[in-house]
Amino acid sequence: MKLAVLVNEGPYQHQASDSAYQFVTAALRTGHEVMRVFFYHDGVNNGTRLTTPPQDDRHIQKRWSALAQEHNVDLVLCVAACQRRGLVDEGEAKRNSKDATNIAPGFRISGLGQLIEAGVEADRLVTFGD
């Protein structure tokens, strides 16, 4: 089965990101294809490379980055949600005259069209968070 996932909540204030990550890893382990994980609203905060949780806590962003690298999962951050929350990649930094970037490896910024495409192409779109 071809799956797409939508994550609407940030990494530490809600269980949505942990649940989505566990769902995606289980789906991949059982042979399903996960074509895209789209992070929307506060969910884009999962994609900042500046997250530094305590050493005895889980590092959600690193989990997502490793998953993307190991399984070639497309991790997309909504551009409008990123702009509102100060997340920028090289393209957005240049376009908005910012002097730094903060997107974690494996993530990319794009528009809502990526979510629509995932919903159309996937057999199921599974949503985590409000």
**pLDDT tens digit sequence for 40-90:** 999 999 999 999 999 999 999 999 999 999 999 999 999 999 999 999 999
Burial class (CB within 10 angstroms; exposed 0-12, middle 13-18, buried 19+) of 127: middle
pLDDT tens-digit map of 84-114: 999 999 999 999 999 999 999 999 999 999 9
Say whether 11 sits in a helix, a strand or coil. Answer: coil
For residue 7, give both structure tokens: 């994550």
Any idea where the domains of the chain sit in the sequence? 2-128
Average pLDDT across the chain, whole number: 96
Q: What pTM does this model have?
A: 0.96
Say what percent of the chain tops pLDDT 70. Answer: 100
Query: Which architecture characterizes domain 2-128 according to CATH?
Result: 3-Layer(aba) Sandwich (3.40)
- Active site (catalytic) residues: 78
13 alpha carbon, distance to own chain's centre: 15
* pLDDT at site 5: 98
Phi, psi at 32, each rounded to 5°: -80, 160
Q: What are residue 47's phi and psi, to 5 degrees? A: -100, 10
The fraction of the chain above a pLDDT of 90, given in percent, is 98
pLDDT band at 8 (very low <50, low <70, confident <90, very high): very high
Residue by residue, what is the 3-state secondary structure of 34-99?
A: EEEEEECHHHHHHHECCCCCCCCCCCHHHHHHHHHHHHCCEEEEEHHHHHHHCCCCHHHHHHCCCC
